[in-house]
Amino acid sequence: MTDTQNQPEINKGLDGVVADYTAISKVNPETNSLLYRGYPVQELAAKLPFEAVAYLLWNGEIPTDAQLADFTEQERSHRALDQHVKATLDALPVDCHPMDSVRTAVSLLGAQHPQAGDNSPSAELQKATTLFAQLPAVVAYEQRRRTAGGPTEPVAPRDDLDYAQNFLWMTFGEEADAAVVDAFRISMVLYAEHSFNASTFTARVITSTLSDLHSAVTGAIGALKGPLHGGANEAVMHTFDEIGIRPDESEEDAKARAKAWMERALAERKKVMGFGHRVYKHGDSRVPTMKKALDAMIEHFGRQEILGLYHGLEQAMDEAKAIKPNLDYPAGPTYHLMGFDTELFTPLFIAARITGWTAHIMEQRAANSLIRPLSAYNGPDERHL
């Protein structure tokens, strides 16, 4: 083995390593607030449509009414499910994970994009806009074909509906109630961006090689598919399912069962997803906003047992470990109440995070340096045949 003296300090997982500057987002430690371009995300979620948040992430400022109208017109013109994408999705097994389907669709959309080889700022922004508009159709159709057991007819988009309204329309084929639309919009805003997380950093690494935007997004989807990064919102619902969801159960009875389940799980050292976050030391700043959206859905659908399960798990984890929920914890049951299949939760994350990913792709491109870290060798010393 090589001499370990004078070896550089190793930061496994790049923990604590500051890789670059970004003007897109940060967590403000003084207020424990996630900021998009300086704006607290809870304020954006309270006041802006998701289209305006996407514009902010890409352009650095909240759009004027005229700018938002122009951007909205562009987005609505690209909403339809591409027929080549539909045919490709139809050829995939209905039991493959929807993350595989979305990754494949993005790769195809990139291969046939008329500006595929153009990495200029204007072309990048156009590709980001079209992908932002196209992903709801992909995710919505993936749920519909899985429900149907195979190829079916997509629901055509409507240009009289905003992003959140249309997403739900294309998924379920009916107009969603205003409360549901608002909760969905809030979730999209909260999931949109989160600095140099694993999938975003993956996208920036790929971009740093001067590869194209769709390749970077495809790589980011691959990173998000890993359970140590994405999928926690799905895992939360799997936990609820394991405990058992009983729609007629009282909130208190559901809470007692969930608390007992968590206590056993922790005693058995079982990993329970939806709690803790490397970035936040005092709880995920996005949770209170998402929890209010969940509360609204529980009230809207009259499902108090979901609230009981939520509070039972949360209380047991807090008492045993003092670990707080992260965004995925309230988001999972919120999507469940809306009617999304559990396996579609992480693709919903993609539909939101495409805004942050592409903002970082464009930022990386604007001041690029190839990302190529060094390694410390710890194999055999030089030897010969």
Residues 6+ apart with CB under 8 A from 110: 116, 212, 213, 214, 215, 217, 218
CB-CB contact of 94 with 150 (8 Å): yes
Residue with tokens 């969930």: 258
Looking from the CA of 7 toward its CB, the CA atoms found within 13 Å total 12
Distance of CA 383 to the CA centre of its chain: 48
| Residue given tokens 């493959």 in the structure block | 96
C-alpha 35/C-alpha 322 separation (Å) is 25
Q: Which helix (H) or strand (E) is 33 found in, with range?
A: strand 33-36
Provide the annotated active-site residues.
229, 277, 328
**Residue 281 to residue 51: CA distance in whole angstroms:** 30
Q: Are 124 and 110 in contact (CB under 8 A)?
A: no
Q: Which two tokens stand for residue 164?
A: 């959140």
CB 339 within 8 A of CB 172: yes
End-to-end CA distance of the chain: 17
